[in-house]
Amino acid sequence: MGKITNALKKATEERFSRLDRIARIKEQERLVVQKMGESAIDSRIISYFDPKSPITEQYKILKTNILSSKNERSPRTILITSAIHSEGKTVTALNLAITMAQAVNNPKIVLIDADLRRGRMTKYLGTKQEVGLTEILQGKTKIEEAIFKIDIENLAFIASGSYPENPAELLNSESMKRFLSDLKVNFDFIVIDTPPIIPVTDPGILGAQADGVLMVIQAGRTQRGIVEHASELLHQAHAKLLGYVLTNIEYHLPEYIYRYL
């Protein structure tokens, strides 16, 4: 047991070392820019309202870190999760997807709300979408009938839809595998927002089908042991952990950086 414990400890320490190489995102409401016009989109989706803000630049760093791996091909299917609730994973998923869609080569991006228990993507976008992933997996609607867009040309969304009684079974079904295969034909990148990994098995199920997983951690709130446990659950599910995204970080930007921006 000692060797196993030491191995897990070493693996966890290696994963935590990635914290210095992955973007650290600050998502404090008091620092975001004001909404423009009558937009119903949540003000925390800063990459939508201000693509040149310092916070959006952090999401660009995150995008670059994900897509510029020297040893492996870039992941096309990226899953976003957290250890526990309220760590900022949906806000991170939205900002990341928008930033990816703003790239100069205009890649086609689709963001899926795969939280079939309490999905909130449409709330942040200020839209109402009655059908979504649940209805697609149940065979009640087609992908083209559930997909929707806002005013970003090459970014599409699929809402969670209704909350089924068997979310884990639906996500682990052949319908889900076919669904992802169909999307890969029409989109360059797929971003999937999922529930937290510790309370439910859903992220582990989808993590095994994705090319990589990002775990969102709220600084000053989530204890190290909880993150280690969440990381081990992903490992047990055979999901590839790309790294961690820290939210709610306090840091100082030198004045010369503000002048440059």
pLDDT of residue 28: 40
Total domains in the fold of the chain: 1
- What are the tens digits of pLDDT across the range 22-58? 555 544 433 333 334 456 899 999 999 999 898 899 9
Q: Please work out, in degrees rounded to the nearest 5, the angle formed at the alpha carbon of residue 188 by the alpha carbons of 61 and 26.
A: 25
List CB contacts of 246: < 8 A, sequence separation 6 or more: 19, 24, 25, 217, 218, 219
Outline where DSSP puts E strands in the chain: 77-82, 109-113, 148-149, 155-158, 189-193, 212-218, 241-247
DSSP characters over 53-86: SHHHHHHHHHHHHHH--SSSPPPSEEEEEESSSS
pLDDT of residue 13: 55
Task: Kindly state the tokens that stand for 193.
Answer: 């927002």
State which residues form the domain around 217.
2-260
Task: Kindly state the tokens that stand for 179.
Answer: 């669904």
Q: Are 215 and 93 in contact (CB under 8 A)?
A: no
The pTM score is: 0.83
pLDDT of residue 173: 97
pLDDT of residue 256: 44
**Pairing of β 212-218 and β 77-82:** parallel
Residues of the chain with pLDDT under 50: 1, 4-5, 8, 16, 18-21, 26-37, 255-261
Residue in the structure block whose two tokens are 């867009």: 149
Of 216, 212, 215, 200, the C-alpha closest to 238 is 212
Local structure of 111: helix, strand or coil? strand
pLDDT of residue 24: 53
Q: What is the CATH number of the domain that holds 71?
A: 3.40.50.300
